[in-house]
């Protein structure tokens, strides 16, 4: 997985008017101006895509979740009260989109495999070949799904355990255990 | 206590989560334990590497065209009703309706508008529209009934926004075929709906509730007494009757009863004990509701959070605290959502909890 920018998005033709400050764009997008919303997309897509990619470790899935997050943001924009920064609100929408997808995936797996034990249906992290040292991004990508989500939200994005637990619908003790497990696995992978 | 038991403390210390006394005690331990010092140093190195990770990444392709196609078609999400006192509460539904209307006018007429009739196709046997047998394909006009006998099935094209498959022994009427109100009446039988339009354009009246499509696929059954059962397989459906509303997401089901409206949604794989307790709570003797609620709470699993969330509003105030505790046990209330607020019936708190539960698409505030 690479976080380099292989292709620049072709958006030179939608460079914003200097008077288009973000609050104005948000207001226009709330009034259903798709052009204003596109400018907001161009401004924020890299941040949204980064968190999606890091949480799911799959380029195609991250692209779909990024698109879904922006469509959801468009639908919910009329409800955005501007009490927080738009970027924070959008980030929350993106994370909720990813977590909803992870939960749906878990429910599907549970139906198929008939287990309540999340660890039982997580893909075990692939072991790197002997002598190969993973970089941190690759090691995060190789974490089990739940542990990766908790690690990214807590250690990379700076969320608190109670926030993560609320979003994941689990107890704080569970998110702490997942975080400790993720750190341990990362340390082992990076040794 | 040996060092392997101190892992949680080590992480707690690193994250600044220990109390002052615990932190001091741990530092005392650290001073004489080389293993823990080494482990802490390794965790700090990992943290330092983590903080240097890039916070932005450009997707390899432009994702906007697909987003643009979707947002251009979609009307604004319906707002929570019955919550808040701002002017938005009154103006936004109008704005949403206007946006839907504008969207329909601007959209390709072939994709959204529907004529005064819908196309019907026979899938099995000899379905009838009014008295006329449909062979191959036919049409169904506003006011006409489609009936299937025990050997017949039919497909109805819902304008251009979706389709309905009608199972045997069903009776279905086309109530409205306008661009903003695609409406059927299912008097009895079973139908499967698949709708790809914006929310709240497709409705099905039944003797005990109205099903409102919120972008989804679902199965709706009505028995001879007018009682209904809804199962949602994708998206969301709202069931409404006389001011009472349930929101049913994918994987959930809901019963309806004549005169009582929609019951409390439950997971499609909920236990029989939970279903029986919910039927008692929703539809039987009101004097015994508190007993029925106790049985419901005893039968819920962590996966039954949609049920518990609806009960936050439906339980009597005296019992809402118990519902709060049952839901919070496995799905802690998000910041700002308090037991006292839920007991007092705070709709904004219920909404915040719905968001935290991943029911982010709950488009309306379920009502008692």
User: Contact B57/A5, CB-based, under 8 Å?
Assistant: yes
Average per-residue pLDDT for chain A: 79
How many residues make up chain B in this entry?
368
Three-state secondary structure along B192-234? EEEECCCCCCEEEECCCCEEEEEEEEEEEEECCCCCEEEEEEE
User: Contact B74/A75, CB-based, under 8 Å?
Assistant: yes
B365/B368 Cα distance (integer angstroms) = 10
> Looking at the complex, does the CB of residue B358 fall below 8 Å from at least one CB of chain A?
yes
- Which residue stretches of chain B have pLDDT < 50? 1, 75-115, 363-368
Minimal C-alpha gap between B101 and chain A (Å): 13
Q: CB atoms < 10 A from the CB of A112, how many? A: 9
H or E element in which residue B50 lies = helix B34-51
User: DSSP letter string over B71-106?
Assistant: HHHPPPPPPPSS---STHHHHHHHHHHHHHHHHHHH
Burial of residue A136 (CB within 10 Å: 0-12, 13-18, 19+) is middle
B241/A90 Cα distance (integer angstroms) = 35
A150/B54 Cα distance (integer angstroms) = 18
| pLDDT band of A51, cuts 50, 70, 90 | very high
Phi, psi torsion values for B72, nearest 5 degrees: -70, -25
Please choose, from the candidates A176, A89, A14, the residue with its C-alpha nearest in 3D space to the C-alpha of residue B360: A89
Is the pTM here over 0.90, yes or no? no
Per-residue pLDDT, B110: 31
Minimal C-alpha gap between B27 and chain A (Å): 20
Q: A100: which chain B residues are within 8 Å (Cβ-Cβ)?
A: 358, 360
Per-residue pLDDT, B102: 36
- Residue of A77, A167, A187 with shortest CB distance to B46: A187
B111/B21 Cα distance (integer angstroms) = 67
Complex prediction ipTM: 0.81
- Each residue of B292-317: pLDDT tens digit? 999 999 999 988 999 999 999 999 99
Is a pLDDT exceeding 90 seen at residue A35? Answer: no
Please choose, from the candidates A20, A34, A190, A133, the residue with its C-alpha nearest in 3D space to the C-alpha of residue B74: A34
Per-residue pLDDT, A50: 94
> Looking at the complex, does the CB of residue A156 fall below 8 Å from at least one CB of chain B?
yes
A146/A109 Cα distance (integer angstroms) = 13
Please choose, from the candidates B336, B309, B344, the residue with its C-alpha nearest in 3D space to the C-alpha of residue B323: B309
Greater confidence (A111 vs A36) lies with A36
Minimal C-alpha gap between B65 and chain A (Å): 10
Q: CB atoms < 10 A from the CB of A116, how many? A: 10
Residues 76-135, chain A, touching B (beta carbon < 8 A):
76-79, 93, 96-97, 99-100, 103, 107, 111
- Mean per-residue pLDDT, A83-111: 84
Question: Residues of chain A with pLDDT > 70: what percent?
Answer: 75
Closest A-chain CA to B360? A96
* CB B43, CB B11: distance < 8 Å: yes
- Mean per-residue pLDDT, A56-81: 92
> Looking at the complex, does the CB of residue A46 fall below 8 Å from at least one CB of chain B?
yes
- Residue of A62, A97, A171 with shortest CB distance to B332: A171
* CB A64, CB A97: distance < 8 Å: no
Assign residue A84 a region: left if phi > 0, alpha if psi is -120 to 50, beta otherwise?
beta
For A61, A130, B12, B125, B193, the CA distances from B165, given in Å and listed in that order, are: 32, 57, 57, 14, 7
Minimal C-alpha gap between A19 and chain B (Å): 23
B306/B359 Cα distance (integer angstroms) = 8
């Amino acid at each position: 997985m690479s976080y380099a920018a292989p292709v620049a998005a072709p958006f030179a033709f939608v460079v914003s008017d200097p008077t288009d400050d973000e609050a104005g764009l948000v207001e226009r997008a709330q009034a259903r101006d798709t052009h204003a919303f596109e400018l907001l997309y161009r401004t924020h897509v890299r941040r949204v895509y980064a968190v999606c990619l890091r949480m799911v470790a799959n380029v195609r899935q991250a692209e779909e979740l990024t698109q879904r997050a922006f469509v959801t943001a468009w639908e919910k924009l009329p409800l955005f009260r501007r009490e927080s920064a738009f970027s924070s609100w959008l980030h929350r929408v993106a994370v909720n989109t990813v977590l909803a997808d992870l939960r749906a995936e878990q429910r599907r797996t549970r139906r198929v495999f008939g287990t309540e034990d999340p660890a039982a249906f997580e893909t075990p992290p692939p072991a790197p070949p002997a002598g190969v040292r993973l970089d941190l991004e690759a090691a995060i990508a190789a974490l089990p799904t739940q542990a990766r989500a908790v690690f990214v939200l807590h250690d990379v994005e700076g969320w608190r355990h109670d926030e993560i637990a609320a979003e994941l619908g689990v107890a704080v003790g569970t998110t702490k255990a997942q975080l400790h497990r993720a750190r341990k696995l990362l340390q082992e992978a990076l040794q | 206590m040996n060092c392997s038991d101190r892992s949680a403390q080590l992480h707690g210390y690193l994250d600044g989560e220990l109390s002052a006394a615990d932190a001091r005690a741990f530092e005392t331990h650290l001073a004489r334990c080389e293993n823990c010092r080494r482990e802490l140093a390794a965790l700090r190195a990992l943290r330092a590497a983590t903080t240097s990770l890039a916070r932005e990444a450009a997707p390899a392709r432009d994702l906007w065209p697909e987003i643009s196609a979707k947002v251009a078609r979609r009307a604004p999400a319906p707002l929570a009703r019955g919550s808040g006192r701002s002017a938005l509460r009154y103006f936004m539904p109008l704005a949403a309706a206007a946006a839907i209307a504008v969207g329909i006018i601007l959209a390709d007429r072939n994709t959204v508008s529907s004529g005064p009739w819908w196309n019907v196709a026979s899938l099995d046997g000899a379905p009838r529209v009014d008295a006329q047998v449909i062979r191959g394909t036919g049409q169904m006009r506003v006011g006409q009934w489609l009936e299937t006998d025990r050997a017949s099935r039919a497909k109805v094209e819902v304008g251009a926004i979706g389709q309905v498959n009608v199972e045997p022994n069903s009776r279905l009427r086309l109530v409205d075929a306008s661009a903003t109100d695609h409406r059927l009446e299912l008097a009895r039988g079973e139908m499967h709906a698949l709708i790809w339009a914006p929310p709240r354009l497709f409705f099905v009246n039944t003797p005990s509730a109205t099903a409102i499509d919120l972008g989804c696929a679902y199965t709706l059954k009505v028995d001879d007494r007018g009682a209904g059962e809804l199962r949602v397989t994708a998206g969301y459906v709202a069931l409404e009757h006389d001011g009472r509303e349930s929101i049913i997401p994918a994987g959930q089901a809901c019963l309806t009863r004549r005169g009582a409206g929609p019951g409390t949604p439950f997971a499609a794989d909920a236990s029989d004990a939970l279903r029986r307790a919910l039927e008692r709570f929703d539809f039987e003797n009101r004097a015994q509701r508190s007993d029925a609620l106790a049985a419901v709470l005893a039968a819920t699993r962590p996966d039954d959070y949609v049920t518990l969330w609806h009960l936050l509003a439906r339980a009597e105030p005296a019992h809402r605290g118990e519902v709060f505790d049952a839901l919070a046990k496995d799905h802690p209330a998000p910041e700002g959502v308090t037991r006292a607020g839920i007991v007092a019936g705070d709709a904004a708190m219920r909404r915040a909890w719905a968001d935290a539960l991943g029911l982010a698409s709950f488009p309306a505030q379920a009502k008692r």
